[in-house]
Amino acid sequence: MVSLTSRPIIRENKLIELILQLQPICALPIYFSVLTGNHLLPISLLIAAIPIGIRFGLYHHFFQRTPFDLPILIFIFGMVIGSIIAPDKQVALGALSSSFASISVYYGITNSTQLKTKYWLWLGIIICLITIVMSAWFFSQGDSRRLVFNQWIFGLFGWLPKTSGPVLQWNSLAALLSVVIPPLFGIAFFQNSKTIRIGALVSGLLFLGLLFLTASGEGWIGTAIGLTFMLFCWRKWTLGFIVPIFGILATLASIFYNKIHWLSIVFSVGHLTDRFDIWRNTLNLFAFKLYYPFTGLGFGSLNKLYISEFARNVNHTHNSYLQVYADTGIIGVLSLIIAVVIFIRMAKSIFSTSKQNTCYGAGIGLIGGIISGAIFAFFDVTTMVPVTISAQFIYMSVPLLWIIVAMFVGAYDYCRKPL
């Protein structure tokens, strides 16, 4: 029997546990503060610090250790250096604050790796709901990439109200979908629960259809590679017909490239050569000052420097790896290299576990999703987003990568547990 005096303590512990689990949610006000000009940044930082402070008071540490702590620490150092040398401190402050928010989201999720499967199931459902909302937002806001095969869905969502602010781009939605789709199919192919498998399969097919309708060539390629990896892990013989199918599709695309109008838009040679120019010019910016290769151009400073040197407005490099170099220099690139090495070692560990493990499918799918995102990152920036609101340039972190990697850490921990 529980005594009357112990009940408030139980309630208090449950409340504290809830606050700790809501750490990713507590970081969200920072993003809204950055979008509104950093005016409410002190308050939003205080809200984000509440669960972190509670955890330190209870356990004498700010977060549970994860395999990626070292590269994150190095990356933070690169961000701080990049913010110090940045000519526009307001832009750098927004980028730095939102990046810390993304890191808080990461640790808020990894701190919960010991929780039951139900927590991770709800987290996956929330991500799927966010993906649906983002898809509806994209298809309701205009005629971006309205082509012969997808114009019907723009009309389907045309009744939704238009926003006066920035509009979500097709590649932004495709980046989200390309990372989310492989984990869903991984769960559908490997999960033991029939209900979860059906739900994941239906969601995966829905998002695969939405990805096709975005008309994002980068998204198609990245997702195809991620799904190929996942299918190979499921049944190695699938590679025997997937590779020929890709070869046939590539051949048909080259034959009909100039005959089918939408092919030349989805896989635009002009856009690719334009990216080559941006990459070359960005690298040329590093030659103007000797310290640039080590410190980067300054966190969020590419836009201003590019305009001053090349008289052209370019918000980002259209390459996530080059963008990391531009923002944080060699320090940030070093953190990325270390993170890749750690990821490969963790992936090998997941491969070696039993397929009967509850989280094996999620782990394989998340590896496929990260591979999809890594391929997509060669052609666009998925870690940071530049936004112009009322002539004000805002540069802020996107938490997508941090969330997926945090879930990968959770799957890794679960896969190491005995059956």
Digit-coded pLDDT (tens) for 405-417: 999 999 998 887 7
In this prediction, residue 133 carries a pLDDT of: 93
Residue 197 domain boundaries? 63-416
Looking up tokens 């640790």 gives 107
| CA–CA distance, 364 with 353 (Å, rounded to integer) | 11
In a domain, 180, yes or no: yes
In a domain, 273, yes or no: yes
In a domain, 274, yes or no: yes
In a domain, 388, yes or no: yes
| CA–CA distance, 117 with 122 (Å, rounded to integer) | 9
In a domain, 367, yes or no: yes
In a domain, 191, yes or no: yes
Q: Which residues are CB-neighbours of 305 under 8 A, at least 6 positions away?
A: 285, 297, 298
Looking at the 3D structure of the chain, how many domains does it have? 1
In a domain, 56, yes or no: no
Digit-coded pLDDT (tens) for 187-242: 999 988 889 999 999 999 999 999 999 999 999 999 999 999 999 998 889 889 89
Digit-coded pLDDT (tens) for 146-201: 899 999 999 898 888 887 777 788 999 999 999 999 999 999 999 888 899 999 99
In a domain, 352, yes or no: yes
In this prediction, residue 8 carries a pLDDT of: 41
| CA–CA distance, 81 with 242 (Å, rounded to integer) | 46
